[in-house]
Amino acid sequence: MGEAVALGIRQRLLISHLFAVVVLAGAFGAFVYASAERQLIERLRIQLAETAGGVARALDPHLVAAADGDATARAALAAALANEARNHADIDHIDVVRERDGARVVVASSATDAAPAARAGDLGALAPLPGGAGYAVDLAMRRGEVGEKLYILRLSAALAFLVCVLVALLLSRHLAGRIIARITDLTARCRALANGEPLPPRRPGPHDELDDLAREFDAMAGRLRHAAASREQAAAALREANASLESRVRERTAELEAANAKLKAEIEQRLHVEALLAEAAMTDPLTGLLNRRAQMEMLEQAAQRLKPGEPGLSIILVDLDHFKQLNDRYGHSAGDRVLTTVAARLRDLCGGAQAHCVARWGGEEFLVLLPGVRLAAACKRAEELRREVAALRIDRIAQVTASFGVAELVGGESLDACLKRCDQALYRAKEAGRDAVVAAQGALFATMS
């Protein structure tokens, strides 16, 4: 959507005055027009009634009575009616009618053709003939006569409405011009005050709200100039004090920066040493995995967070098969390569959020902590690890295999009891021929591979 069009004061005044004139003058004009229309119709009805009465009085009753049954008399009566119609330019036709059997029958008419049976919408009048006998004069105004008079009335009303609108526009333009001139003068004074220039002379005008605003602005401008002069004096004194203070601050800052740089270097060196010591205290130096003490702390924290009914945590103990024989046959350097290779593989396989849950538990043993993992899923993970370790090929060393013991710590069970069951599962995997996964659930053990 585009931006809304901003209207100025002149446009707003013109629109507001025009709206007021259109609404008020329109409503008043409609009321006056309706009243005038009713009065015009009423005067025409009265005029027609008087004309009908005059025609009724001018007709010969004997001729009317004879015309009801004689064609010659009817023709004479029609000629008389036509003569009366010509004497009244606004009359369309004149009929002599009679009530017969509840219906109105035309006896004679001024019209050359047969009178219409109904004249709905025509303005007419009915006057009885003197002497009774049930005869009456029925006349109708010429078609279009009322419309012409109403058209002139509407044209006059529209012209009066346009005159009102024009006068309102002229008045609003004049009023807007005076207001805008006062506002323009105030704007020029504001601009002069903002630019630090002398205020222009104020235009004379009537004493109104805008004049009060201009006077208050002049008073405020005077106070602002006085305050500005006072601030300038204070600023000059402050600049002198700041210049002296900045000199002393620069000297002191240089001394502090030198001391801070020296202190920062000492702190960074100390933090680096502390970080190295902390890492050394938590990390196995050969494999780079967590050591037993760090992993034990993680186990205790995970066990404390465990609540009854929630998924427990599972533990996998990994022990390399025949590691002593491997050391004796290939040497300790080859054994170290096996440990580092297996450790790296376990860490890669337990990547993501569980990468820090792999630790060297001691010697050729590793421990994998699986928080929030149930026993079945842990056994599946252990089987994957077993296959991956068996697939490793390390230099000229024969195939390396490992045995796996799996146990789940559930709510209410001690950590030592769970570790003991996991160790027993590992022992059973060794007895089962190694390169196997054994799960411990309560007092039961199951070989998974």
Q: CA angle at residue 186 from 182 to 192, to 5 degrees?
A: 145
Q: Which residue would you say has higher pLDDT here, 5 or 11?
A: 11
User: pTM of the predicted model, to two decimals?
Assistant: 0.43
pLDDT, residue 345, reads 93
Q: How confident is the model at residue 120 (pLDDT cuts 50, 70, 90)?
A: very low
More confident residue, 320 or 134: 320
Residue of 364, 383, 384, 408 with catalytic role: 364
Strands 365-370 and 358-362: antiparallel
pLDDT(126) > 90: no
Instruction: State the average pLDDT over residues 257-266.
Output: 84
**E strands, 55-181, in order:** 91-100, 103-109, 124-128, 135-141
pLDDT tens-digit readout, 40-83: 788 888 888 888 788 878 787 778 777 777 888 888 878 888 88
The answer to whether residue 364 is catalytic is yes
Q: Of 53-67, 100-114, 287-301, 384-398, give the lowest mean pLDDT range.
A: 100-114
Closest CA to 394 of 348, 336, 349: 336
Tell me the percentage of the chain whose pLDDT exceeds 90: 26
pLDDT band at 161 (very low <50, low <70, confident <90, very high): confident
Q: What is the C-alpha separation between 204 and 182, in angstroms, rounded?
A: 9
Lowest mean pLDDT among 13-17, 62-66, 396-400, 417-421: 13-17
Question: What residues contact 430, with CB distance under 8 A and at least 6 apart?
Answer: 319, 321, 403
For residue 290, what is the DSSP state? B
Q: According to the model, what pLDDT value does residue 354 have?
A: 54
Taking residues 36-40, what's their average pLDDT?
Answer: 79
**How far is residue 442's CA from residue 444's CA, in Å, rounded to a whole number?**
5
Residues 6+ apart with CB under 8 A from 184: none
Amino acid 5: pLDDT: 52
The reported pLDDT for the residue numbered 367 is 96
Q: Is the pLDDT of residue 2 over 80?
A: no
Asked if the model's pLDDT at residue 185 lies above 90, the reply is no
Q: How confident is the model at residue 287 (pLDDT cuts 50, 70, 90)?
A: very high
pLDDT above 70 covers what percent of the chain?
Answer: 86
At 333-384, the pLDDT tens digits run: 999 999 999 999 999 988 754 556 899 999 999 999 998 899 999 999 999 9
Residues 356/369, Cβ–Cβ less than 8 Å = no
Residue 131 has pLDDT above 60, yes or no: yes
At residue 277, does pLDDT exceed 60?
no
